Chains A and B, each alone.
Chain A
Amino acid sequence: MISVPLFSVRDLHVWFELPDGRELHAVQGVSFDLHAGEVLGLVGESGCGKTTTILATMGLLPSSAQVAGEIRINGVEILHGGESSVRPHRWRDIAMVFQGAMNCFSPVRTVGSQIVEPMKLHGIAKGADARRRAGELLEMVGIPAASAERFPHEFSGGMRQRAAIAMALACEPKILLADEPTTGLDVMVQAQILELLGSLADKLGLAVVLVTHDLPVVAEACSRAAVMYAGRIAELGSVDDLYHDSHHPYTRLLFAATPDLLGEDRVASIPGAPPRLDREIVGCPFRDRCDSAIEVCASEEPLLHLVGSAHVAACHLNDLIESVTK
């Protein structure tokens, strides 16, 4: 695509300083682009850096984190200017549904007032106008508008999660970062919310990054997906390609792993565990669990290479195949 992407992440790195002085390299060179109306899935095992990536793009990591890389909205870098240069973009251009969104409301204020707050702050709407809008947003996620006057504890967990989505849409953002927005909701509600996100992407041109453990959700809701492993992107491409033409053993194992009934632990059903991120990794981070590792995997880190149209993967096997076919 030639046009400037709406949202672009380039070579993002995050290091956490641990209490004992060591560093944990949680995100190691993540890059992706996102265009208006697109839903990008972000999948990977627990601890692979999905949440850290998302928080870093909004400059929301704690002060123990060091961040490098570029985040651009419509081509404009937002992180380098520090807190004051990100703040105007927050919620206005780029909003977020947090992992554990149930707790994103302050318990001592009404849900409505917390949805109205960013509208006032960013000059979207105020007074009765803003309150009416908050009611509409709640109705859009299936909550009666009158519930805006109620306190978070009067909502069920699922309602709070849906209200969190309503709140994220308060300022008509261009980009929505949704970190497991449907985890813990029942299947019906989950389907409704995914459908809602899809239709918002279609109708309003909202660009969504959807973090999830749930591969069927990716298949259903996303056009493209990035598979993360040990803080890096292992493979990124259209959902079709990832399912049927995967170029990374991890993706293949992930998508082939037998679904268990709960659907959540599917990702964890590959034997072994990911490497620790608090020490340097030599070679391919997936080596210990890979069923097709070769000699070079132990010494050299595989880099992301184009393996198809808009399809990249980081695996030495691809280079091998390339050199054989040449």
Chain B
Amino acid sequence: MNTRTLDYVLKRIGFSIMTVFVVLTFNFVLFRALPGSAVTDLSRVPNSTPALREALARQFGLADSKWQQYFIYLKQLLHGNLGVSYINGLPVWHNLTTDLSNTIPMVGLGTLLAIVFGIWSGVTSAWRWHRPADYLLTNTAIAFYSFPTQWLGLMLVMIFGRYLPTTGMNDPFAVGGSAWSHALDTFKHMILPAVAVALTLYGQYTLVVRSAILEVLGEDFVLTARAKGIPARTILRRYVLRNALLPIVTLIALSIGYVVGGALLVETVFTWPGIGLAVYQSVLSRDYPMLQGAFLILTLSVVMLNLVADLLSLKLDPRVAE
């Protein structure tokens, strides 16, 4: 590692830490700036007395000044304490780990499908530029990219609802059974929402991959490679894909980062008990600690994967460190 590279790595790490801190602060301010508070919500009972409301406020740490709340928030975060959910009174961390363990396999599978299919479709359409295959693949990608997610989800339910389960993670009536049959049941439930996630994501991959490849195809070094007598397939691999990799890797890292954010719309349509659904419900009930926790995890994950993408691009393109 030369000094320039080291400099780059340190800068990227420093930048990531800064980003996390700014987002943490922003999260805190944002949720307090929103109208209404959890207490007014929780105590929305006909005879709630000021005393009751005050007691609740104290219980959830909302009686202190905003500054005090901010420092307590940061201190607790450092101890890994995300607070207690206003809704079920359980530690946010506990709620989130449950939600995440449901979200990650489903959204992860969907993202993986989107990456594989999107890259294939992008490479193929670029390679068949301005030929029927290109028009077909590109227009399909644009269509799926622009369909509203809920609508796509409903279409899937309508078309495949007869063959595959469409709500929840498990069949509530299937009691007993082996761990294996339970897992299989979960997998069946996962298919439609994962496909919905894949369909909403893959269009973007197709378009990014296609344009990245087309851009490289127009470069002088590709023409030079042809002039050198290198066979077309080798040029595609050694020159074109290799140079188009950078934007693709960045996109992959970002979408992997977003996996822990869940898929709010898809999870809502398919009532998949993941983090997206939890965020949706937390918004409805102004459950700040849950929201903050969810956003914290999303932030950390996206910032981390961004950092990974930055460090990978250092490997992929020697110009990056300049």
Given pairs A88-B229, A96-B227, A106-B221, 5 additional interface contacts (CB within 8 A): A87-B231, A100-B220, A103-B219, A106-B239, A164-B224
Min Cβ gap A150→B in Å is: 9
Number of interface residues of B (CB under 8 A): 20
- Inter-subunit contact A90/B319 (CB<8 Å): no
* Nearest 8 CB-CB pairings of A with B: A90-B229, A103-B220, A104-B224, A118-B228, A151-B318, A106-B221, A91-B228, A153-B319
- Inter-subunit contact A108/B223 (CB<8 Å): no
Residue of B with least CB distance to A90: B229
Q: Which of B230, B242, B317, B318 contacts A117 (CB 8 A)?
A: B230
Residue of A with least CB distance to B246: A108
- Inter-subunit contact A98/B223 (CB<8 Å): yes
Judge whether A22 is part of the interface by a CB distance below 8 angstroms: no
Residues of A within 8 A of B230 (CB): 117-118, 121
Residue of A with least CB distance to B322: A153
Q: Interface residues of A toward B: which range?
A: 20 to 34
> Which residues of B come within 8 Å of A, CB atoms?
219-221, 223-231, 239, 242-243, 316-319, 322
- Inter-subunit contact B318/A107 (CB<8 Å): yes
Docked Cα-Cα span, A60 to B230, in Å, equals 12
Residues of B within 8 A of A89 (CB): 229
- Inter-subunit contact A103/B229 (CB<8 Å): no
Most buried by A among B231, B243, B318: B318
Judge whether A211 is part of the interface by a CB distance below 8 angstroms: no
Min Cβ gap A116→B in Å is: 11
Chain A residues 99 to 140 lying within 8 A of chain B, measured CB to CB, are 100-101, 103-109, 117-118, 121-122
Residues of B within 8 A of A109 (CB): 242
Docked Cα-Cα span, A91 to B225, in Å, equals 10
Min Cβ gap B218→A in Å is: 10
Q: Which of B229, B317, B318 contacts A118 (CB 8 A)?
A: B229
| 21 contacts across the A-B interface (CB closer than 8 A) | A60-B227, A87-B229, A88-B229, A89-B229, A91-B227, A91-B228, A92-B229, A96-B224, A101-B220, A104-B220, A106-B221, A106-B225, A106-B242, A106-B243, A107-B243, A108-B316, A117-B228, A118-B230, A121-B228, A121-B229, A153-B319
Taking chain A's interface residues, is the majority helix, strand, or loop, or is none over half, making it mixed?
Answer: loop
> Which residues of A come within 8 Å of B, CB atoms?
58, 60, 87-92, 95-96, 98, 100-101, 103-109, 117-118, 121-122, 151, 153, 164, 167
Residue of B with least CB distance to A118: B228
Residue of A with least CB distance to B317: A108
Most buried by A among B223, B243, B319: B223
Q: Which of A60, A104, A118 contacts B221 (CB 8 A)?
A: A104
Residue of B with least CB distance to A61: B223
Docked Cα-Cα span, A60 to B227, in Å, equals 7
Residues of A within 8 A of B228 (CB): 90-91, 117-118, 121
Min Cβ gap A53→B in Å is: 15
Residue of A with least CB distance to B231: A87
Residues of A within 8 A of B225 (CB): 106
Residues of A within 8 A of B322 (CB): 153
Residues of B within 8 A of A92 (CB): 229
- Inter-subunit contact A95/B242 (CB<8 Å): no
Docked Cα-Cα span, A91 to B228, in Å, equals 5
Residue of A with least CB distance to B227: A96
> Given A100-B220, A104-B221, A106-B243, are A90 and B318 also a contact pair (CB < 8 Å)?
no
Residues of A within 8 A of B227 (CB): 58, 60, 90-91, 95-96, 98
Residue of A with least CB distance to B240: A106
- Inter-subunit contact A107/B319 (CB<8 Å): yes
Docked Cα-Cα span, A108 to B222, in Å, equals 13
Docked Cα-Cα span, A87 to B318, in Å, equals 31
Residues of B within 8 A of A167 (CB): 224
Residues of A within 8 A of B224 (CB): 96, 98, 104-105, 164, 167
